[in-house]
Copies of this chain bind each other. A is one copy, B any other.
């Protein structure tokens, strides 16, 4: 089987609370890490409000441009949870009560001794043709429709849904990476980074300065390649440069 070299994904974070600054989104970082692990390149992360037209247009823009689109947020029972119906509209399918989701939720609330009221029943409304994604925490499912994965916004639930979705994700070539922490500032190493960063070496090099205090600052240099040998040669060359210039690193 020929493996596609690289798969791409984007992440759509849906929720007014992200844009007002009330909530720090951590879901997209978690998904990005997992995608990097399985060789899927995240090309864009976008946070938008709970507004139907914006959700519809963003979903269509991002899903067409990438192999996968993950959305987080807006699938709960309240008035501002409009993700499911917006996804249905974006993909031009109907949304209706899903029997499996309805039965699972009914059973769950019965066991909890809570009413399975009209607003809770909203969570059983799923776009037609979608595959349910199991939610072991609070039962209301996420779903996969075409190349769009629709997850809850609560991190604990989102993580479980992502785990339950990995079987649908094609694994690309894994990008290997090495991180070298250098006790200096970027200006001291920028020149050598430029010489290492050759496309013919199939290397990707990033340099990430940090500055915690006057005494605690430096640069994390991350070298990446799908080819382990080229990666280790580049790291060796870089460390030799650091030694020659009396720069400490670890």
Contact = CB atoms under 8 A, between A and B. Distances in A.
Interface string A176-215: 0000000001111111011001000000111111110000
Contact of A118 (B18, B188, B191, B211): B191
Interface string A30-63: 1111111000011111111110000000000000
Contacts of A22: 33, 36, 206, 208, 222
A154 B43 contact: no
Helix, strand, loop or mixed for chain A's interface?
A: mixed
Contacts of A25: 29
A172 interface: no
A246 interface: no
A236 to B, nearest CB: 20
B21 A24 contact: no
Counted per complex, copies of this chain come to 2
Given A114-B187, A118-B191, A191-B117, A18 B32 contact: yes
A76 interface: yes
A64 interface: no
Question: Which range holds the interface residue count of chain A?
Answer: 35 or more
Contacts of A24: 26, 29
A186 B77 contact: yes
Nearest to A9: B19
A13 to B, nearest CB: 8
A156 B211 contact: yes
A162 interface: no
Nearest to A195: B79
A23 interface: yes
Contact of A77 (B114, B157, B187): B187
Contacts of A114: 185, 187-188
Given A137-B211, A187-B120, A194 B79 contact: yes
Contacts of A50: 206
Contacts of A34: 21
